[in-house]
Amino acid sequence: MDKKEIERLLEKFDQSSLKNFELAQDDFKLKFSKRDDEHVVVENSATPSSVNTDGSGHGQTISGQSDAQSAQPVSQNVAEIKAPLVGVVYFAPSPDKPAYKKQGDHVEKGDVVCVIEAMKMINEVKSDVTGTISNILVEDGSMVEYDQPIFQVTKE
């Protein structure tokens, strides 16, 4: 089962009145469960993910992050570069090109740090701060929500 099929299933599940959904194919197992606090949890034996919804039907996928990493507090010296729209984030202009910026790189205000593909259009995401990228909060190729933090930047 590929990412698109899982995203389509999640969207249908989110719009339905179902509270639980399980799918098993060979060694692949997928489990969706809605809670009262509008969170949807996805369990996948191959690569664990959790998906949070904001009630609008759009899911945010966080793959392979530990709870400590996702709940990391933001200090006064750290700014976040957030997604300006919903879409799929890519850190490089194409798969065979180097990333725009990676962890530890210096970034100037106005530098392109990644792109977001939405409705078959590529939109550049530019930094609104100057500093050093201290943390990348999402994975390349993952779906991001509007205003979701993508990078943490230590300001200079």
Nearest-angstrom CA–CA distance, 99 and 138:
14
Nearest-angstrom CA–CA distance, 10 and 105:
35
Structure tokens at 118: 């939405």
Backbone phi and psi for residue 123, each to the nearest 5 degrees, phi listed first: -120, 125
Domains of the chain and any CATH numbers: 3-64 (no CATH), 72-155 (2.40.50.100)
Q: pLDDT 10s digit of each residue in the chain, 156 long?
A: 677 888 887 777 777 777 777 777 777 777 777 765 444 444 444 444 444 444 444 444 434 333 334 444 556 789 999 999 999 999 999 889 999 999 999 999 999 999 999 988 999 999 999 999 999 999 999 999 999 999 999 998
